[in-house]
Structure 1
């Protein structure tokens, strides 16, 4: 599924939820905790050159696939407008070597990309409350499986993220949520002990929709 189609599908789902918003709803305020359970699409267009150990072009690119996962986000409101959110979830991604006449799966890996962000919430007392945020993340690659005779190593590391979203109040403490993050992350991958290498800019979009509950 392309990024545009995924965003459109989530937007339609949120639009359908909005008319259900009731008069009796719990607004955002200082000291409030909000738990969001979401379905998230991790969408990356990463396709970066694979080089030899001497730095020469191999004619191939490293291509990373997309995935969809459940995620949990916990938000604490420092003030009515300012909040800190931590999210966690894990995805599995396919890594291919692609080029003219070549499309070979070389690796499959799990990724744990926790993100902590500082958010500013507009209209915290309103039924529709958009927000923006920025934060950091740490990419952890684990459970890797090598394919077709290749041995691939991928470095963990820090990145940063920008965020925008909206909460639509439903009945009582419940809300619908649409959230979009752009994560900026670059990693080094080596193949067969460094015989081949690639600096991969993952830079995924993380597009999510779900339900929130306020405590």
Structure 2
């Protein structure tokens, strides 16, 4: 079993393709931080206030498959609950399931410190919407958008490591309340900031 101080890890065959350890699982604690901007209308009249979407902190799981030594595909799974406020009033809350697929480039996969970058697509599924007191019929549409990421693994041995990862997702969704009387166009554009453990097999 190799030590993290060693420059190389035993994962590369003579042909340059991975001899083993094509799969990698990460479990992370994830902060979902929306950088929202919104446009709200009541009965067709645009309002000056904006919707504020709360942060969320959740567990997250991802699966990565290495296509070559340096190129990998990652899919993440996790779900988060977000509260929405408008002018000091609680509009309600909604759950989001945001599967995100990225294609990554790993710069030094054979070393203890292994940084990577990635780009891909997110499709966010909204569910379990619940209107706040004084409101009814909260509905938030699903949405999709591009995603970028950067992060690194630090390998403790051949199979186990630590991970830090940041993703930026550009996501726009439509929402409505009170049978459509209140409508909003919300740019969530969240940051996903996570840290956890990696296992390669």
TM-score normalised over the length of structure 2: 0.89
Q: How many residues align?
A: 191
CA contact (8 A) 2:73 2:104 kept: yes
**Matched residue, 2:149:** 163
Q: Does 1:142 align with 2:127?
A: yes
What CA distance in whole angstroms lies between the structure 2 residues aligned with 1:76 and 1:26? 17
Q: Does 1:82 align with 2:68?
A: no
**Deviation string, structure 1 residues 121-164 (Cα, Å, up to 9, x no partner):** 00111111110101111111111211112122110122221000
Q: Does 1:133 align with 2:118?
A: yes
**Deviation string, structure 1 residues 35-71 (Cα, Å, up to 9, x no partner):** 00000000013142311232x2223221110000100
What CA distance in whole angstroms lies between the structure 2 residues aligned with 1:165 and 1:110? 26
Partner of residue 44 from structure 1, selected from 8, 12, 34: 34
Secondary structure, aligned partner of 2:161: strand
Secondary structure, aligned partner of 2:68: coil
CA contact (8 A) 2:35 2:191 kept: no
CA contact (8 A) 2:129 2:140 kept: no
Change (3 A) 1:110 1:73: same
CA contact (8 A) 2:85 2:92 kept: yes
CA contact (8 A) 2:9 2:111 kept: no
Partner of residue 34 from structure 1, selected from 24, 30, 33: 24
1:25 CA drift (Å)? 5.0
**Deviation string, structure 1 residues 159-202 (Cα, Å, up to 9, x no partner):** 22100011111123001110000011001111212212111000
What CA distance in whole angstroms lies between the structure 2 residues aligned with 1:49 and 1:158? 18
State the Cα RMSD in Å: 1.8
Q: Which runs of 5+ in 2 are unaligned?
A: none
Q: Bigger shift: 147-156 or 172-181?
A: 147-156
**Matched residue, 1:3:** none
Q: Does 1:121 align with 2:106?
A: yes
Q: Does 1:95 align with 2:84?
A: yes
What CA distance in whole angstroms lies between the structure 1 residues aligned with 2:41 and 2:104? 39
